[in-house]
Each structure stands twice: as structure tokens, then as C-alpha cells.
A and B are shown apart, each in its own frame.
Chain A
Amino acid sequence: METLGVKEICGNIAAHNGALNAYLQVVPEERLKPGAGPLAGVCLGVKDNIAVAGLQLTCGSKLLERYVAPYTATVVERLLAAGATVTGKLNLDEFAMGSATTYSAYGDTKNPWDEDRTPGGSSGGSAAAVAAKMCDVALGSDTGGSVRQPAAYCGIYGYKPTYGALSRYGLTAFASSLDQIGIFARRPGHIRELMRIAAGRDDHDATSIEAPSFATRGFSPSEMKIGVIAEYEKKMGPAVRPAYDRCIETLKKAGATIVPLSFPEYDTVISVYQVVATAEASANLARFDGIRYTARAEGCSFRETTAASRGRWFGPEVKRRILLGTWVLSRAYYDSYYLRAAKVRTVILDRWKEFFGKVDLVLTPATAGTAFKRAEQPDTFALYLEDLFTIPANLTGMPAIAFPAGTHDRLPVGLQLTADLSRDALLIDAAGWLEKNFMDFATIERGCRHDTI
């Protein structure tokens, strides 16, 4: 795989990280020893909620400020074994809860295209680092769109595999049934190379699956049926619409059949997601009690110590979601919220399975618009709506990729392709075809201010 090289990457980190705040921890250049293997020389940035032994694991939280991971995530371990080098730990919204990387306890990350703007979230550090060439590729985590939305805002590729294709062992859990480690790259081919190495069953993750094939079979649009969703077309903003239309036009011209689909449940996805994700998060984050590996606020009893530690160091968004999750799981509300959400989730899954009975891929926007200004961050609930296009892939477990689709007003626009379960290779093939036939890669690169070309 083509790489920038340690020297260039370290130079870029030194030049831009101060302004962008993408890395929370940078591994010094002298410690970046390239390994041997198919990924030799690949510089890998890792979101700071994924464990790498000996490096910090703050999860963007004050609560884990001094915590050092005692073990390495399976995905990272496999990439290291293939020769990759970890360059450092990347900024994120606290415990991956957010859509703008503004909920990090360690400061905002800035969008390399415009520092006044958000890189998206929660994997904003990963997206910014890849876009600004501060690493070759980066790992993020995607629970409701946390890889795809920032990829779209930063003009790069953001891929969420089929649920289970990448082991979650070592990824600090936010919502276990939705979480997937995802990959940020400037070229779709890089994603394929990483997946070939990192995907597959892991004895440490009971939900991991046998790796789907990542062999390329080429992509011939004339054999493809591409679904488009009427409800989503109404929801995208004027910044995205032209790119979306152009993309459909390109595919059509190449012989693809465009199939209109209807997703009448589209407006339930945010609610279902909020219930499921917060419920699981309320349990997953219970372990941060100030007793074992976290900052401890002294109290007289366990209860006091726990309450004081969590009260002092969890940020407001994390507290909000824990409270909501605790509430929807409580005995009085379980049936009307959690159980109901779980049922609607299966309806949504059935709907998307039905789609893939008719089409090979579904094309949607990745986001409704381009990156917003950090100073103009929408309110809490408007921010939740950011995930409208990306959440279905998490609820269904299906693979999806956000890909660059040009710019609007000097800001990148991202679109999204979704495929059926385990058809990850098709997704990457399609992104590869679009890279050549739809997206002018060089244009995107020149748009990024921190581009060193």
C-alpha cells in the first residue's frame, strides 16, 4: 500500500496538530519503527477509545485522564502484526458520544478545511488526521455514524464494516449492539488492504464473524441496481443535492439501474437509536466508578466515592445519555421504550433486507449538509438529527461507506453507499469505481488547507 512515510507524517503532525488538535497523544518519531509485512510503513492513527497497550486510553474523558491501556485491541494487534505503526491516539467526543468532537474533555478538533468548522464526530480526530495527512489511515468507531459523518465533513472515505467483521475487543463500549470499529482513508483501496488483514473471527469477541471476502471482483455499473430512498431525498440540504444528483447521473450513464425505494420508517431511526444506544451505554459506562483505573474523588463510602467521581468527571452529554438510558430501562418504562425500540429495530432490519432483495446498493447522502461552524453547533436534539442517514446501518448491522463527492462552497460533500450484510467487498469495489469515474481525487486533496501537496 502506498504510504506517505514516517518523516512526512511526523512533519505534518508537528506542523498542524497544534492548530487542529486531532491527536491527543503523539508517539515520538524515534519510536515509530516500521514493521515488516504487507502493511510495512503504514502509519496508523487510532481513536482514543481503542486500546493500544502502553498508550493512553482517555476516551476523551477526564475520568480516564491518566489511564494507560493494559492490552491491545485485536484489530490493532492484527494491523501491527502486518507491519503497521501506530502514530498516536486521536481526539473524540467523550466516550464517542457526540457529532462534532466538541464534547471532548481535551478541546475541540478543527476541520482541516476550515478551522472554524467541526470535523464532525465522534471520530473527529481520526477524520481530521487522515484528511490533513497526519497519518496514512486511521481507526474510528461508528455507533450511529461516528466514522461516516466526520469522513464526509473532511472529504475522505469512512467505512463501517458489517457488524462483527472487525472485532470489538479493545474498543471501549458505548452501545455494544451498534458499535463497530471503522476505517478512515484517503483511498478506498487502503480500506480493502486493512480489512484483508484485520477482519475475521476473534476468540475474544463472541459477536465477531468470519471475514467476508475482500477480493476485488471489479465493479460494472451496468450489472448493478442502485436503490435511492424517496424519504431521504426530501431531507438533504441544498449543499448536498447537486452532488447526489450528479452521482446518480454518473451511475446511470454507466448503465446502472436506479431503483426508487420507500423507507416509511425513516423518521423512527433517531428515536430507536437514542433508546437502544443510551440503554446499552448506561450499563457499559457503569464500570467507570472511580474504584479501579480511573480518577477517584474521595468519599466516605463506595456510594459517595462513585457518585462524586462520576459527578465530577463525566461531561454533560455523557451524563445526559446515562440518565436517559437508565430511565428507558427502568421497570416502569422498559416495555414502552426499550422493548418497543427493540421491536421497531427489527422492523427496520426487515425493511432493509427487503431493499437488498431488490437492489445491490443503496445510495444516500452521508449528511444533510456540509460541516457546520463550531460556534454555531445546533442544540442537543438538532445535533442528534445529524445521524439520520447513517443510523440505519448501525441498527441493521449492514456495511456502509461515506465517500467524497466534491465540494460545496469550498467544503467537502459526502455521500453514502450501503450494502447487504457481509457484502463489504462490493461496497469497496463501488467506492473504487466512483473514485475513478465520479470523484476527481486531486480536486478534493487540493481543497484541504493543510494539504502539503
Chain B
Amino acid sequence: MTRYEAVIGLEIHVQIKTDTKAFCRCNGDYNAPPNRHICPVCTGAPGALPVLSDEFVRRAVLFCLALGARVNLVSTFDRKNYFYPDMPKNYQITQFFTPIGSEGRLLVTGADGVERAIGIERIHMEEDTARSAHMGERTLLNFNRAGLPLIEVVSHPDLRSGEEAAQYFKKIYDIAVKYLGICRGNMEEGNLRCDANISIRPVGSTALNTKTEVKNVNSFAFIAKAIDHEIERQIALVEAGGAVESETRLWNPKLKRTETMRKKSGRNDYRYFNEPDLGPLRITAEFVEELRKTLPELPDAKRRRLKAYGINNEQTDLFVGYPEVGDYFINATASNTLQPSEYPIVSSLVTGEILKYEDKEHFETVPQRIPPQHTASLAHLIHTGRVTWPQAKELFAMMRETGSDPEEIVKNDPRFTAIGDDETAAIAAAVVADHPAETEKYLGGRENLLGFFVGQAMKRAKGKADPAKMSEMVKKELTNRKK
């Protein structure tokens, strides 16, 4: 029986967040009342001309760098000609002949657990269309969105499964939305749109067979499912002696299957040519290097770095997916003289306590309200046994409310007051008395048992004793037994 593999390429449109539209100075707030933010340029009035937004260029270059792509110092703007009611000029200004970015790459982890680089063929700048709303017989047009800056990222057909495609899409999302902050990331509003080109071939073949295009798989919930379903549909079709037809398909989330949207009869001819109103876009190597300096640490690098912290995969995923939360964790571990063995406690405090109260999507103000060094102090109090976990939770709520250092709270609040020397000594004596066998061994030279006694004693003191003091008392008690 033939085994098949899938060949998948993704085309992702990322709507870029800038103050203005791509080619005019209209406000980019597309949610304003219909046709509020429009002008002769973005409605295609006769005589209006496009002027490229500098901010758009900066963000495009930053995105290219983040995707490991080559930034082309000279790129072209070109007209893509086709008639469509929501296209003001009936051509779209895009970058066809030379895009701003070429040959980038992103890592995905395959089913075998091995990381693979997915090639990015091109990254280009273009303009969004207007929005149409159908009201019975009528179609209404809203030009607020017309001319908004878009960046299209086109992958090589390097993806092999729905799961890989989902990872790749998520990573593009994370970089654009979470790391660079160049996209609002609202999927319902179409800030990110993803189309998948899918074909199948027998394993071992290098042929590129007839593909179908599945439109609008821009949902983390169903991108993998939609693609896997389409792969299975194609395999079943070929196994039954049929042939895959070149067509555009849509995922039906209710019926959980893809359906024909339109057959592709021959290729569209977009009659591309250089946009004479703009001329080539020229940028300098210095400009690119300046932007490279502003690039934050990116997901792959962050994940690599987090590996050293001894935290679990779930927490790592969370810190990579929400870089502000991840940075909080990293800052907390750096802000104190914490031992690496205490990092998992910090991590648990961040994921368990802080995120119980704070929204990971809106984490910006958290470091001011709950300084990372306070969280580090709390972790240290837990580690040393100064406070128990139940106490720590109470303590955390207090420090979150008051903004105080937990060390201070512990010192001043009677609930967390340490027990006195006498009581400590009494507990130490009782623990030693309760463990004659261990005492015998200790006195016989097994001095590493000291930790065992201290641990037991601290437990009995419900963490309220000073561990150093307790250790001293236990040692004294044991030494006394020797005599």
C-alpha cells in the first residue's frame, strides 16, 4: 500500500498596526463608523496618488529580520490588476517583482520531536481592501479598511502536517503580535488571515502535485484539523482512482470538512507591472542595522534560554507564548541571589499565583505593581521553609494588595512571626528525642543526617522557625547526646 505525505505551504496576511494607512495619512482605526477614515487616496479618487508610510517600512523590515529573512535594500511596488467591488482602484499596490524580504525561516517541531526549519519564500508589503456588507439585494462598502498596511508571508511548501502548519502559524502570530507588537492579533477582525496550499505525494517522491487552496484557516482551533482533513480527502480520492482538482476550498467548521468554493479554470492573469506612482523602495544597510538593534529576543531564542531554568514544558510554552510573562519570570530569577533550585518555585508563583489574578494578555503593568524582586523574595521564603505554601498564598495576596516586600510583611505581621529561641530549642530537642535510631547513626559519623533532623523540626515548627537557628539548635542537641 502506498504511503503518502502532505506538501503544505501557507500564505499568511498580517495586518500591520500603524497610525496611518499604507499610502495615505488616514487614521487606521477600521472600527470607526463606516467611511469615517477615508480620503481621495484610499477611495481611489481620480488624480490621487499613493505616498508610502515610513512606519510601514520600519515595521516590515523589523518583521523580515524577526523571520530571519534577507532584507532587500531595493524592492519594488507593483500593481496587481483585477476588478473587485471592494478594491478602490481595481488594482492592488503590492510587491510582486522584488519583495522587501526573501528567504526567511522558522523552526517547527515535527511529530518525531525533531526541530525542522520551514523556509519562507517571500515577505511583501501591500494594501488591504475595503469591506463589503451585503444587505439583501444591496452591497454596502466601507472604506475604513481600504489601504491599511498588510504584510504577506509566503512559506515554501515545507510543512508536512496540520500540526506543523498550526505551529508555524502560531509562531508567526506570536512574533507579529506578542514579540514585535506590529499587529493587533484580533482574528475575528481579520488581523491575521491564513490560506493553505495542500497537495499529497507518495513518500519518497519529490513531485509537486496538483494542489488545492483552503481559504481562511486562520483559527488556532481548526487550522490543524482543516488541513489534516483536506490531506485525508485527497488521499482517499487518489486511492479511489480519482485525481485532485485545482480548486479553492473552504473549511466548514460545523460539518468538519472542506468544501469546494470555486474551481480554478486556468490561472488568473494579474498583469503585474511596476507601480509608476511610487518607484522602487530604497533603504540603506545602516537603516536595517539600526532596526536590528531594536529587535527583541525571539521565541526560538527565548525557548532555548528557558531550557536552563529547570521548569516544565507547560510553563515554558506559556513564557514563550506570552513574552511579557516570560520576561517577568526571567527578571524575578535575576533580581535576587536565588539558587537555580529555587527557579521552579518562582515559575510556580508566576503561573499559579500571579496569573490567578492577572490577565496574561494584558501583563504590561504587572511588573510595576508586583515587582519581580518581591516574587523572588517570596520564592526564597518558601524555599527556606520560612513560610509554607498555604502561608505563601496568603502572603502573595497581601503583597499584591499593598505592593510591599514579603520580607517586610513577614517581619511585621504576627501571623508570620518566627517562634522564639526557647521554642525552637524545645522543638529541636523533641525531634532528636523522637528519632533515636537516626541519632545513633548521626553520632556514629553520618553527619549528613543533620538535614533530615532540621527538615523534621522545621515541619513541626510549621515553618515559623528560622531555619539557620533551627539548624544550630538541632546540632547542639545532637552534640549534647554524645556526652
Contacts and interface: CB of A to CB of B under 8 A. Distances in A.
Given A286-B83, A306-B83, A329-B81, A50 B47 contact: yes
Given A283-B79, A287-B88, A326-B271, A176 B276 contact: yes
Contacts of A194: none
A207 B279 contact: yes
A206 B46 contact: no
B136 to A, nearest CB: 14
A303 B83 contact: yes
B52 A70 contact: no
B364 interface: no
A413 B50 CA distance: 40
Interface residues of A, number: 44
A286 B45 CA distance: 12
B45 A70 contact: yes
B47 A286 contact: no
A282 B46 contact: no
Interface in A281-296: 282-283, 286-287, 289, 291-293
B46 A205 contact: no
Contacts of A306: 83
Interface in B446-476: none
Interface stretch (A167-175, A226-234, A241-249, A311-319): A167-175
Interface in A312-371: 326, 329-331, 334, 338
Contact of B81 (A69, A168, A177, A286): A286
A206 B273 contact: no
Contacts of B139: 302
Nearest to B51: A206
Given A206-B52, A207-B279, A286-B83, A73 B271 contact: no
Contacts of B83: 286, 289, 302-303, 306
Given A283-B79, A286-B81, A207 B277 contact: yes
Contacts, number: 106
Interface residues of B, number: 32
A421 interface: no
Interface in B258-280: 267, 269, 271-273, 276-279
Nearest to A276: B276
Interface in B376-402: none
B89 A172 contact: no
Interface in B22-77: 40-41, 43-52
B49 A302 contact: no
B222 interface: no
A64 B40 contact: no
A169 B48 contact: yes
B416 interface: no
A30 interface: no
Closest 5 CB pairs of A and B: A286-B90, A177-B276, A329-B271, A176-B276, A172-B46
Given A172-B46, A205-B49, 5 more contacts: A283-B91, A292-B43, A329-B81, A329-B271, A330-B271
13 contacts: A70-B40, A168-B49, A177-B276, A206-B51, A207-B49, A207-B279, A280-B273, A286-B81, A287-B88, A287-B90, A289-B90, A292-B88, A331-B269
